[in-house]
Amino acid sequence: MDKKIVLVTGASSGIGEAVARKLAKGRHTVVLSGRSKAKLVGLERELAGKGQRVVAVSGDLAKEEDAKKVVSESLKTFGAVDAIVHAAGVFHVSRLEDTSSETFRGVLDTNLTSLYFLMKYLLPHFYAQKRGQVVAVSSVAGRQGFAGETAYCASKWGLMGFLEALRLEAKERGVRVTAILPGPTLTPAWKAFDGPVPEDRLMAPETVADSILFALDQPEGALVESLIVTPSRDPFGGREKI
């Protein structure tokens, strides 16, 4: 893979952290973004201590001003951004009647609106340099409904529509858009789940990260539109989670 400057959201844990670590190890330049400033700074120090080129820019991407700051700081620090890996997200499990309006809106804002804010400020830069990559972590819940995940499914189905439309708008201007749809992955997001978690059957975040790096590694003339990665065995054996 040609060396890139990559903005990674959700970099403080889970899939985002795994992607950031792999990119930094591969000598790419990485902007670490997430809500937890302490975790980001800790990761920045660890990777920089290994001679890797990273910078942490914290922010709540569900807030437009924070998303704008993350993009502007990335461009100010490195002069360019070649790709964004959007791994920021939240998992929520509850039936519709038990989901408050505030929670529903919060899930949509974190999983969907955040990418709109980021692209609002990053896309002009991509268009100006006539190239760029957007790799966003969706979910198998972006193509299939699951009981107890009304808010989560709504956010991920919305994200898939957003990415498909953006792909059509941007591809003739050199910007490639990829959706990654992982199945159950062992990340801190499962803290939202009250039942037993079959950890031995969940994918490691590094497995999903490898699929993201595969998409980023495609030559300019190739585009991975979407990629589904699931555990080889159904973690829940067909049972509903709630």
Catalogue the active-site residues: 152
Beta strands in 10-131 (DSSP E): 29-34, 54-58, 83-86
Closest by CA position to 136, among listed 189, 184, 88? 88
Token pair of 98 as six digits: 């038990």
CA atoms within 13 A on the CB side of 98: 8
3-state secondary structure (DSSP) of residue 169:
helix
Residue pair 18/29 in contact (Cβ under 8 Å)? The answer is: no
Token pair of 113 as six digits: 């609106």
- Name 63's Cβ contacts closer than 8 Å, sequence gap at least 6: 117
Residue pair 13/39 in contact (Cβ under 8 Å)? The answer is: yes
Closest by CA position to 68, among listed 129, 125, 130? 125
